[in-house]
Amino acid sequence: MQQDLKSELTKQLIIDKAFTLFYENGFKTTSIDKIMKETTLSKGAFYHHYKSKKALGLEVISLKVQKRVLDGMVYPLEETGDALDILEHIFITRLKSFKIYEKEHGCPMNNLINEIGDHELAYQLALKQIIETWKSALIKLIERGKREHTIKPNVSSAAVAVYLISAFEGIRGIRKLYKDDTILEEYVSGLSLYLKQLQA
């Protein structure tokens, strides 16, 4: 039992350090050697848990990246209340919750999409699954808003969902270029205007 716990803690340490290094330096430039140097574990410890960097990358996506999106952007969509208020609150609150470090480095998921999304089918599918889960949750909320007559009945729920995801991910990437939050404040203003246009 103790050995199992030690093994699980070792694996978690590798995943945590890999996520941070992928986030800060990029996936392609981060070697197994760099990751293991950060963990202070042997390379043998890596190969005990993973066959390759690809296997580790997929686990980082499923355990770290996906969890961030689910916790921050998907599960809160299940709250009760006015659908448009929920949308505005979640997108704006999430944006305002990011620390300077996160603003400077952008969105971990978006970074991986841009870097390796077209590199290998396995990465593409893993990242796409996160987007599709997020999109489905948004569509569900927008459809609820239509039924409750808070959102115009003729809007395309899928189009709105894709637009909201794309705009949010885009501003996370663009913010990396700036030294202050002016661009984020402009995005927030634009988001509020857009959501008002959906109001029934």
* pTM for the whole structure: 0.91
Residues 172 and 100 in one domain: yes
Residues 59 and 151 in one domain: yes
Q: Dihedral sign for Cα 58, 47, 35, 41, please.
A: positive
Residues 109 and 15 in one domain: no
pLDDT digits (tens, 9 = 90+) for 1-29: 566 557 678 889 999 999 999 999 999 99
Q: What's 111's domain CATH number?
A: 1.10.357.10
- Residues counted in the chain: 200
Token readout for 2 is 């103790």
Residues 6 and 45 in one domain: yes
**Which residue range is the domain that position 173 belongs to?**
55-196
Q: What's 28's domain CATH number?
A: 1.10.10
d(CA 106, CA 99) in angstroms, rounded, equals: 11
Give 189: exposed, middle or buried? Use CB within 10 Å, 0-12, 13-18, 19+.
Answer: exposed
Domain end among 50, 65, 80: 50
For 26, 79, 123, the CA distances from 130, given in Å and listed in that order, are 19, 20, 11
Token readout for 64 is 């770290």
d(CA 101, CA 71) in angstroms, rounded, equals: 19
Residues 97 and 155 in one domain: yes
Tokens 């929920």 — which residue? 86
Residues 41 and 122 in one domain: no
Residues 18 and 81 in one domain: no
pLDDT at 140 over 90: yes
Residues 88 and 183 in one domain: yes
Residues 97 and 22 in one domain: no
Total count of domains within the chain: 2
Instruction: Give pLDDT, residue 20.
Output: 96
Residues 11 and 102 in one domain: no
Work out the average pLDDT over 69-79.
95
Instruction: For the chain, count helices (H), then strands (E).
Output: 11, 0
Instruction: Give pLDDT, residue 154.
Output: 95
Residues 36 and 64 in one domain: no
d(CA 164, CA 15) in angstroms, rounded, equals: 30
Residues 189 and 111 in one domain: yes
pLDDT digits (tens, 9 = 90+) for 75-104: 999 999 999 999 999 999 999 999 999 999
d(CA 106, CA 110) in angstroms, rounded, equals: 8
Token readout for 44 is 């043998």
